[in-house]
Amino acid sequence: MMYSRIIGTGSYLPARVVTNAELESKVRTNDQWIVARTGIRERRIAGDHETTSDLAVAAAKAAIAKSGIAPEEIDLLIVATSTPDVIFPSTACIVQDKLGLHGFPAFDLQAVCAGFVYALATADQFLRAGGAKCALVIGAEVFSRILDWQDRSTCVLFGDGAGAVILKRSPEPGIIQTRLKADGRYRNILTTPGYISNGQIVGHPFLKMEGSAVFKFAVKALADLATETLELAGLTQSHLQWLVPHQANIRIIESTAKHLGLDMERVVVTVDKHGNTSAASIPLALDSAAEQGKFSSGDLILLEGIGGGFTWGAVLLRW
């Protein structure tokens, strides 16, 4: 039996910081309301010439450096993103080229805010089956470019960033259990419905969200999924040391922690610093915690994310 283990993490946030106070001058909102409802205090916004692949490459280089591998050891690259550089080629192929690598599978995976756990679960299957030995898995987004900055219900929530991990084949577990789900009946609750046809944008080009409906679905879905993932692994809530959730809303995070019986000291929270960065949020949080030395060898960690589709998923792993 072979497994996959995370041996390095990395992240990148654009330089520009947009605080709640700055947004107060642009839309009818205020810092107190944003913090109370979401936990967000600031977010990062990509520069005019920064692309998703630029953010991804920076995070990837950090993860490679921390893992101690040679870049040439990588033989699988997956980029989770909903904001690719271009329609095609894939952002993964662009990242592969920018890293000076070639010749192995590289592809994008689109599951919105659940994208990173979907990508990590996919890479895990490749490594377990022997289809690869060393994977680079990235979550990267520039959501600022699909936001209507006059829509106060959405523009305060999202930001840009990238996070990455190096996953290596191992006889000892790392990743213990993965669980992925989707339900397209809810596809219109959180969506960016516009598309390009004959050189023109057809339909609404910005993100649209029914916030209350998303909140209600997410709270129950993530609680149920956490229990289910632990049960599939033959473990209980008492075995869990850390929760690394999708960083969308502090109230959803607190609800999931309460369901798992975890003190918030055992939950990685970075939503206040960068808002909802979609597929980038979990690897950003993971790298932040790793950099602070929060995890100990052997700690049982649950990663969970939910996004448009609806898609949702979890990865249970040993550090």
Tell me the catalytic residues: 113, 246, 276
3-state secondary structure of 93: helix
Strand partners, 276: 158
To which H or E segment does residue 64 belong?
helix 52-67
How far is 37 from 214, CA to CA, in rounded Å? Answer: 14
How far is 249 from 306, CA to CA, in rounded Å? Answer: 11
Pairing assessment for the beta strands 175-182 and 76-80 based on DSSP bridges: unpaired
To which H or E segment does residue 161 belong?
strand 160-170
Neighbour order of strands in the sheet with 311-318: 175-182, 311-318, 300-307, 242-245
Which of 32, 249, 289, 81 lies closest to 158, judged by CA? 249
Residue 150 burial class via C-beta count within 10 angstroms: exposed 0-12, middle 13-18, buried 19 and up:
exposed
Q: Measure the N-to-C terminal CA separation of the chain; round to a whole number of Å.
A: 18
Give residue 205's Cα distance to chain centre: 22
